[in-house]
Amino acid sequence: MERGRFIVVEGIDGSGSTTQAKYLCDYLKAKGRECYFTAEPSTGPVGKVIRQFLREKGEKPQLLSHILALSFSADRLYHYEYEILPRLEKNIDVISDRYVLSSLVYQGLDLPQGWVKEINRYAPNPNLTVLIDAPEEIASERRLKRGSEPEIFDKSDLQIQLRNRYLQLAFTAQAIVVDGSSDAQIVSDRMIEAIKQVLDF
């Protein structure tokens, strides 16, 4: 029986990863594929707790980092087993906005990289990871426009560090890097063309 494809879209906050993940799902549907969009943190019980953490300042940031890292890894396993895998087994493509690479980038910023990787070792690899790369000045403008509640990672100097880490670690996930600095439709076209070079679309 055929199995769906699991594709992850990554990027700093405001890069357009969520928009592009949804565009990709719409593209696959237009091609006659069943497709399901999802995101991390998930809507599961641990994911809801994570979202609360992300909106707190945190008096003990180092402790918060460990809690977040462990919470993300737990949420990820729940997400995969109960939301992603059942659909893949039904030959439904799944597009996730964020996955393991996010933890390696965000939590790995101030925690040992090896430890973050170890606690995520049970998360199955996706078929493909796409990194939407955008300069922080552009990402910052997009975050302001969407008007959502600020989160603990939204500071510009931190986002610059995170972008650098994404670019450094993209090769470890064999990720395709797509220039996300243009209009959303142009970025989508670039992304689709890049994916076609790797997967049968």
Q: Which residue type sits at 97?
A: D
Q: Is the pLDDT of residue 83 over 50?
A: yes
Domain, as residue range, for 105: 6-196
Whether residue 65 is contained in a domain is answered as: yes
CATH number at residue 175: 3.40.50.300
Q: Is the pLDDT of residue 119 over 70?
A: yes
How does pLDDT run across 20-66, given as a tens digit for each residue? 999 999 999 999 999 999 999 999 999 998 888 777 654 445 557 88
Whether residue 77 is contained in a domain is answered as: yes
Whether residue 1 is contained in a domain is answered as: no
- Give the number of domains in the chain: 1
Res 58: pLDDT: 47
Whether residue 37 is contained in a domain is answered as: yes
Q: How confident is the model at residue 81 (pLDDT cuts 50, 70, 90)?
A: very high
